[in-house]
Amino acid sequence: MPSATSTPGERISRVFSERSESGGAALVTYLCAGFPDVASSVAHALACVAAGADVLEIGVPFSDPTADGAAIARASQFAIAGGSGLESALEVARRVRAASEVPIVLFGYYNPIFVRGDAATARAAADAGVDALLVVDLPPEEDSPLRDAAHALGLGLVPLVAPTSTEARLAGLAARAPKPPFVYSVSVAGVTGSAHADLGEASARAAHVRARIGAPCVVGFGIADAADATKAAAHADGVVVGTALVRIVDDAVREGLSIEAQAERVRTFVHDLAVAVHAPRSPQNSAPARTV
């Protein structure tokens, strides 16, 4: 059960600190809230935690997820058709927080936040037990209202960087205070589920981003299995798996499996990822990688 003394910042920093001390990386898993329904999403999230996931990304279903590939877009459309949205994602977070101290990142696009209001969204997220927000289409130059509202409540705002991000952009993120809880480094200039990511290069870049910004850096996009996760974790502080996990859920739903059976599929898949990502790395891999 959650500890009354835990805070959002402590939950996230503790994860990265513990994984660093053990020589491995953190596993971040993404699920689309409301796919196929809220109760199932909660069961899937807790299955991820039981299998070794260190951080949960709870995706807010959105009608135009421009950074996401077909699998997550389909999951979002399914969830929206069933009535899910920002409120459903908050409800998933609330139920997970009632059962676990796992760090939770609310992941989504800015439109639903804008409609609700920056301050109101931050307050609702904090009340639901969320630790940080990640808004895919909100650039750093325009995020001050949400960032300030989140920070006032102890929530972090996770920035994204891409292979095309300049040194000037990294310097701008490094100059911010407080530091972000972590940075999400996109492995490709494309959408989620991309199969052509050079994960070795992406991992090396994550180490460079970490050194430049002064915060843990995770790699996401294009990580389909444990072998991919091992490559991505070589120099990064963490690995994000989303599309592959959503496909596991999609297959289970199409097969008509019970919630319990769906959760077991999720647990088995995430367990293999966790074993790969948590494995101690060689000293040369855990040290800062070359500048890319």
The enclosing domain of 244 has a CATH number of 3.20.20.70
Q: How many domains does the chain have?
A: 1
To the nearest whole percent, how much of the chain has pLDDT over 70?
91
Look at residue 1 and tell me whether its pLDDT is greater than 50. Answer: no
Length of the chain: 292
For position 105, what pLDDT does the model report?
A: 98
pLDDT tier at 6 (50, 70, 90 boundaries)?
low
Q: How far is CA 29 from the centre of its chain?
A: 6
Look at residue 289 and tell me whether its pLDDT is greater than 50. Answer: no
Is residue 6 included in any domain, yes or no? no
For position 284, what pLDDT does the model report?
A: 52
Owning domain of residue 59: 26-286
pTM value is 0.92
- Contact criterion met (CB below 8 Å) for 107 and 246: no
Which active-site residues does the annotation give? Answer: 57, 68
Is residue 9 included in any domain, yes or no? no
Amino acid identity, position 61: P
Is residue 219 included in any domain, yes or no? yes
Handedness of CA 197, 203, 209, 210 (dihedral sign): positive
pLDDT per residue as tens digits for the range 235-277: 999 999 999 999 999 999 999 999 999 999 999 999 999 999 9
Question: How far apart, in whole angstroms, are the C-alpha atoms of residue 108 and residue 133?
Answer: 8
Is residue 181 included in any domain, yes or no? yes
Is residue 18 included in any domain, yes or no? no
Strand partners, 134: 107
Look at residue 189 and tell me whether its pLDDT is greater than 80. Answer: no
Strand partners, 58: 31, 106
Question: How far apart, in whole angstroms, are the C-alpha atoms of residue 126 and residue 257?
Answer: 33
Amino acid identity, position 176: R
pLDDT per residue as tens digits for the range 123-160: 999 999 999 999 999 999 999 999 999 999 999 999 99
Q: How far is CA 131 from the centre of its chain?
A: 11
Is residue 62 included in any domain, yes or no? yes
Q: Return all residues near 255 (Cβ < 8 A) that are at least 6 apart.
A: none
Question: How far apart, in whole angstroms, are the C-alpha atoms of residue 81 and residue 138?
Answer: 25
For position 27, what pLDDT does the model report?
A: 98
For the segment 168-197, the average pLDDT, to the nearest whole number, is 82
Question: How far apart, in whole angstroms, are the C-alpha atoms of residue 190 and residue 192?
Answer: 7
- Contact criterion met (CB below 8 Å) for 128 and 145: no
Is residue 19 included in any domain, yes or no? no
Question: How far apart, in whole angstroms, are the C-alpha atoms of residue 187 and residue 66?
Answer: 16
Is residue 267 included in any domain, yes or no? yes
Q: Which residue has the higher pLDDT, 197 or 221?
A: 221
